[in-house]
Structure 1
């Protein structure tokens, strides 16, 4: 296999996680030495010499790591896992407004809203399917202006290479561990073909490393809070480290470990050289400069709120948001919403995310409806200087969730366990909104964040009935129809709320 090299990794720094949080991952990374970004067979450097720890150390490293996990608290263990394994996927909001991009400085509270769903449950009154135009091809040249001049197009080979590079990059952002026997093994030759360009792009943009082995590709990501692996607790992480030291990809070898760990290893199918790499490779430095930190947050999280950034990071994003988002449009095909409160990168294909919102299933549907009801009640007036967040009364959450459950629970076939346990339903729906950057805990209560307003579209009236000779007369809905019921319900709330 060809050897590929890229520039040296970021200098190691102590403490923090790139998001100004410290923990076990920060201490672990502070002890690690910087490494070059390489895409070569596991344990072999560009000159043929071994890199990292000797191959005989995985078992000892696994025991040391297992002890660290066992002694850590849940949050610290999650952060340590992101530093060691870096196996979390990117996360982005779904849906794009059909309206034109608003003027700079527009608040999410008062900006365009999302009319996006494939489920009739979430289609508004007056919903009409609008064909979305395909995004322009990256690198396309302007067409000639002459009357008989044919459009100028890039060479087919260049377009194909750009498309392949983007496909491989998106796959690695979503699934940082790609193994020959895993669910995405068919893409391994594509990653190999573009390994050098991928390594250079990931290092320059995000400070990430890309390594290749005989049967795997691994994108080393930086520590990121809130990205636990399959809900593992500290004991589960310790079991994962010991199972990886076994060096076998056979599912039968995972029988002694807990079921969540067994399911994770069965999905990864780690070959021996990847298992050793996961246990012995030096983690990425825990801190980075403002530019790289901001880019990592843009690439990996649904929303980057200005108020959540350190001063230097906030200053950089405020000054360079258009340029930074353009980089991700070129490399990953992501589009941007730049608002008064922050920046969100969106995937037009609604694929580059480990959580989907909008999405199928009980929690995603209920969380979206809950966000809409809360925005309806709490959205600041358009004349106000909109705050980045508003406090949500507990009674409003309970009442809105109760109404949603009564209205849609049975008809939408929602999970019976949630319908029977509204406390658990509330907890998990709010947790999903929190993970997606739309709500945040504040002591014993909650804050509704401005980006939630993008999911509360206002109903748009149908165009007036035509008067021409071929126009059809308007037809009033039947008295028992869903449209008339939804309209009555909307009018009763004192404001035009989009029916779902």
Structure 2
């Protein structure tokens, strides 16, 4: 189970994670069979790396963009830099090590051939460093002498070591034979007729699986085979399955598997948590409350209008602005955008033209009042009453 969890948390394991890689290599045959049978994943295990290929996420799942060190998402230009870097590293004649200046020269040359200009201004160099840092985080590159940041800020030279064996396996499927980039995101037709496997994948991949997003066959599996599903996810991945009328959740008690911790630190997560409580108190939803998504579907949940969302965030900003800082408090539109995106990614809310539909699962994050501790005299009185009861 520890090896499987390591792969779920980091689908590409290189020598930088030597203990986890050694564990995966030790159990490689069993892991390959388990992942293929349980989830339809492919596992590649070599001497220097292990790559779990999950395949395209379900269309109803949250987006998981690449992120910068400050947690902001990659912009299209950064993805372009990342793709060009990978192409340059795979170019014939590239050795096991390269100077960062030579690598960037190759990237700029390749970019020019497709009509993309990458200059040498400080912002452009920092954008390239962001993409390089992403590859370092994956373990595809390592800084042997000097740093990418040093080159980005001052043109300091750096020597990078390339882990070439893992490079061709960064994409979930080879580019050969593809006619359009969307082919990379095409759904797996083999899962359509295997509701057990597709349901397990959704529970493993998504923070929350809403019942309205399940197929009829998946809902049938969830209803009929709940005990077996719970056992399999617990034994293989250490996940706890929680099923409610509105959907299901497979969560990790340790929090080590999730890529988005919630609740958590930071302005956006704190604002999102408090916003849920504000909107639930405002709307006062009860069992059976439903909301329209705007596409003809009516689902469990309560709709808060955008004016109500903005008003709640304004009150929270005024109350917590000193702790949150001015970066987002002074940009209410940006604060709303990031908070709403987080709640949508977690499956706790759905964006509609009319407002934000809050899923019933959000109630689990509502603050619960705690009773004040009893005084010593009160505790003695309670004990005395308990003794006197027949």
Does the pair score TM above 0.5?
Answer: yes
- Residue 401 (str. 1) matches residue 234 (str. 2): no
1:310–1:249 Cα change, 3 Å: farther
- Residue 304 (str. 1) matches residue 209 (str. 2): yes
Shift of 1:259: 3.5
Structure 2 unaligned runs (5+)?
68-72, 91-95, 108-127, 141-162, 175-183, 291-299, 383-390
SS for the counterpart of 2:351 is strand
SS for the counterpart of 1:171 is helix
Contact in 2 for aligned 1:376/1:456 (Cα 8 Å): no
Shift of 1:236: 4.0
Structure 2 residue aligned with 1:241: 83
What's the C-alpha RMSD, in Å, of the aligned pairs? 2.6
1:262–1:469 Cα change, 3 Å: closer
- Residue 363 (str. 1) matches residue 284 (str. 2): no
Structure 2 residue aligned with 1:47: none
1:301–1:469 Cα change, 3 Å: closer
Contact in 1 for aligned 2:230/2:241 (Cα 8 Å): yes
1:330–1:250 Cα change, 3 Å: farther
- 1:150-208 CA distance string (max 9 Å, x none): xxxxxxxxxxxxxxxx222111101101111x3x3442111111112211211111011
Structure 1 residue aligned with 2:48: 215
Contact in 2 for aligned 1:325/1:335 (Cα 8 Å): yes
Shift of 1:241: 3.2
12, 21, 24: which one aligns with 1:177: 12
Query: What does 1:2-401 align with in structure 2 at a 5 Å threshold?
Result: 166-180=1-15, 182=16, 184-224=17-57, 225=59, 226-230=63-67, 231-245=73-87, 246-247=89-90, 252=100, 255=104, 258-270=128-140, 271-278=163-170, 281-282=173-174, 286-287=188-189, 288=191, 289-381=194-286, 384-387=287-290, 388-401=300-313
1:199–1:360 Cα change, 3 Å: same
Shift of 1:251: 7.8
Contact in 2 for aligned 1:251/1:266 (Cα 8 Å): no
Structure number with the higher helix fraction is 2
- 1:277-300 CA distance string (max 9 Å, x none): 335955796231222111111001
CA distance in 2, matches of 1:313, 1:178: 32
CA distance in 2, matches of 1:402, 1:235: 33
Contact in 2 for aligned 1:255/1:262 (Cα 8 Å): no
TM-score of the superposed pair, with normalisation by structure 2: 0.70
CA distance in 2, matches of 1:439, 1:468: 43
CA distance in 2, matches of 1:185, 1:375: 46
Size of the aligned set, in residue pairs, is 301
Shift of 1:229: 2.7
SS for the counterpart of 1:273 is helix
TM-score of the superposed pair, with normalisation by structure 1: 0.56
Shift of 1:454: 0.5
CA distance in 1, matches of 2:334, 2:32: 43
Structure 1 residue aligned with 2:119: none
- 1:427-474 CA distance string (max 9 Å, x none): 1011101111111111252211111111113313236545479689xx
Structure 2 residue aligned with 1:460: 370
CA distance in 1, matches of 2:37, 2:171: 25
Contact in 1 for aligned 2:285/2:301 (Cα 8 Å): no
Highest relative contact order (Cα 8 Å, sep 6+), 1 or 2? Answer: 1
